[in-house]
A and B are shown apart, each in its own frame.
Chain A
């Protein structure tokens, strides 16, 4: 594994090895001194061409917990505003001796392209609607922590599937661990096909006997584009206490955040014992430590 761009070509063994390392990193985060010298001497750049709070902070904390130096690039306060291209921005960073780039972009494929431009390793921090692999890894880690194994487990992903990079990465990753993935959403927000998942416009069908339900954020711009009416969405797709009775009795709830309470998910459920939302954020740091460690220390050649 030279870069982490998506899960194309990944094996179950590679995923499990990475998640095993994440478990060790989680133990490091419980120590009185939450820092190890594993990445001393390495420099990690978070290059965010698109705004983000939790992903950027989570990566920066992960790198610092392993003693790497961290530089942070935000498009809004950069020479991109003066017309500098993505490529020139990355080559400028390259000249400063960066070892790893965590790249977030609103356009799909930017991290893939970046991997051809720079010598360092590239981690996809979310690109367009294409992929958000570290979110899927932390989702898988959180599910494994709660369920023990994903073999034969039914996971339902609900909401705006069409525009969701989180859904796409989870649909690539979770079946590798043996899970059966269903995706449900309004017909206007469902792709034609999504290899690895069962698609349905009927929420109840996806929720039936589900072990866990991953609820996605309904984005305002989809409503403005006329793809869905808010009240229709709430009426048919909001995950509520009542609808969740279709799922297994203690079915778990995940949400990648940020959350629109009482839109895609009933507010009381978000705060209930079934909700793993805070666990997801917590686990994000350990999982990203494992990713940076595997890429930087385990790199070949």
Chain B
């Protein structure tokens, strides 16, 4: 793969998440009944950071859960690798909550669909929002994000790599291009 561009640097990632945190609180008219659920892997630290920013400016704790959607995917035969199933942990009752699903990249929409199915099996949220750091387009399902850090029009042969401090040691979003075989 060939590196093409830096889409967001560490400061821009911080600013985008900060803005998303404000937008969430505004949309929900406060933090009452609000909960965040990060989708494995990088959605989890992003959700934790958004919760931290909300605590900083609202002075209130928003619960954070983690969701693995592997068992709900409909494209496992296509990805052709042994899927690694990880822990789902939602340490609060989803019923009646306004839940914000948090992921790093929104692409085809299949992960978001799987996450919606998984959440519905775990409880009955009052409503579900979707927050993503990058929306790169190419949806295959009628799904859109409520909160977006950055919209990036991409080509299908391009790859968006989100790096986060907690997993990758740095905050950065990169655009790569797959080279022809």
**Residues of A with Cβ closer than 8 Å to B?**
17, 20-21, 23-25, 27-28, 31-33, 35-38, 66, 293-294, 297-298
Contact = CB atoms under 8 A, between A and B. Distances in A.
Nearest to A25: B85
B87 A36 contact: no
Interface in B55-97: 68, 70-72, 74, 76, 82-89
A23 B87 contact: yes
Given A23-B87, A24-B87, A36-B71, 8 more contacts: A24-B71, A25-B85, A32-B121, A36-B72, A36-B121, A37-B71, A38-B71, A294-B82
Given A23-B87, A24-B87, A36-B71, A297 B121 contact: no
Nearest to B94: A32
A58 B86 CA distance: 23
Interface of B: 68, 70-72, 74, 76, 82-89, 117-118, 121-123
A298 B82 contact: yes
Given A31-B121, A37-B117, A24 B72 contact: no
A33 B124 CA distance: 11
B160 to A, nearest CB: 26
Contact of A297 (B76, B86, B88, B122): B76
Contact of A27 (B70, B83, B84, B88): B88
Contact of B88 (A20, A24, A32, A293): A24
B121 A66 contact: no
A31 B122 contact: yes
Nearest to B81: A298
A40 to B, nearest CB: 8
A21 B123 contact: no
17 contacts: A17-B84, A21-B85, A23-B87, A24-B88, A25-B85, A27-B88, A31-B121, A32-B121, A32-B122, A33-B122, A36-B72, A36-B118, A38-B72, A66-B71, A297-B76, A297-B82, A297-B83
A33 B121 contact: yes
A293 B85 contact: yes
Contacts of B82: 294, 297-298
A298 B71 contact: no
Contacts of B74: 37
Contacts of A37: 71-72, 74, 117
Contacts of A38: 70-72
